[in-house]
Amino acid sequence: MNHSDDFAQRSAELIGAGRYMHDRGWVPATSGNFSARLRSGEIAITVSGRHKGRLEPNDIMRVDLAGTSLDGSRPSAETLLHTSLYQRFGETGSVLHAHSPGSILASRVFPGGLELSDHELLKALPGITTHETRVRIPVFANDQDMNRLTARVSDYLDRQPDCPGYVIAGHGFYTWGATVDDALRHAEALEFLFDIEVRLHSRTQGDLQP
Ligand SMILES: CSC[C@@H](O)[C@@H](O)C(=O)COP(=O)(O)O
Ligand SMILES: [Zn+2]
């Protein structure tokens, strides 16, 4: 496959992911951003400000691993959060970011992070083969300074390299995978688990009411 076919193929996958996520209410009002690693080593990423449920081929652009635009378009405002993951994890082929209700609610209910355990669906996450696993999803404070936010995430991943995703408080979540499909599966599993954990928490709180 030549480089332009590769770019077209990855772009089509990101467009499909956007439609899927928008249909589920995870990327409202131009929020979210998506990327995929190209065979050339460059990154295909969404152009900033585009509606992620109605992406077209020219809404996907190329950046280098430092996040610099390679074709004159303006990449996602959160490009650094994507490129830092590609720099860190050689096997990562796609990064997805959503502003999903489950992740935002979870960040309010569990500001110190979530502990996911005893869920069969954990097996949808990379390297997990049993529900008897404990997966920690950190919650970072939101920050408009991408260098500072990226540094905080990187510092965490230095210590917890198996982390499958993270939440940004009041903002959304990031997850990644070897392919766009893998990253989408991780997104779907995490969003489901965020929702379950929030509902479990409110049930427990409700039970405690006089
Ligand atoms: C609609 S506000 C959302 C943005 O501030 C940002 O968080 C986001 O997810 C989308 O930014 P973008 O630059 O389009 O990639
Ligand atoms: Zn965002």
Q: Write down the domain spans for the chain.
A: 3-208
| Biggest CA pair distance of the chain | 66
pLDDT tens readout for residues 54-96 = 999 999 999 999 999 999 999 999 999 999 999 999 999 999 9
Would you state the pLDDT for residue 209?
A: 60
| Arithmetic mean of pLDDT over the chain | 97
Task: Tell me how far apart the alpha carbons of residues 203 and 179 are, in angstroms, rounded to a whole number.
Answer: 36
Atom of ligand 1 nearest to the CA of 75: 13
pTM (2 decimals)? 0.97
Ligand 2 centroid vs 178 CA: distance in angstroms?
Answer: 21
Give the residue, out of 27, 31, 168, with the most ligand 1 atoms within 8 A of its beta carbon, to mutate for a pocket test: 31
Would you state the pLDDT for residue 176?
A: 99
CATH number listed for the domain at residues 3-208: 3.40.225.10
Q: What average pLDDT does range 133-155 have in this prediction?
A: 98
Model confidence at 205: pLDDT above 90: no
- 207 CB-near residues (< 8 Å, 6+ apart): none
3 is in an annotated binding site: no
Give CA separation, 162 vs 86, 95, 119, 151, 156, in Å.
Answer: 14, 15, 18, 17, 11
pLDDT band at 109 (very low <50, low <70, confident <90, very high): very high
Task: Tell me how far apart the alpha carbons of residues 182 and 176 are, in angstroms, rounded to a whole number.
Answer: 8
Q: What is the ipTM of this complex?
A: 0.98
Ligand nearest to the CA of 67: 1
Would you state the pLDDT for residue 12?
A: 98
Q: Ligand 1: does its nearest atom lie under 6 Å from the Cβ of 59?
A: no
- Count other C-beta atoms under 10 Å from residue 33's C-beta: 29
Model confidence at 1: pLDDT above 90: no
Q: What average pLDDT does range 172-179 have in this prediction?
A: 99
Extract the tokens encoding 152.
């905080």
Model confidence at 142: pLDDT above 80: yes
Q: Ligand 1: does its nearest atom lie under 6 Å from the Cβ of 32?
A: yes
pLDDT band at 210 (very low <50, low <70, confident <90, very high): low
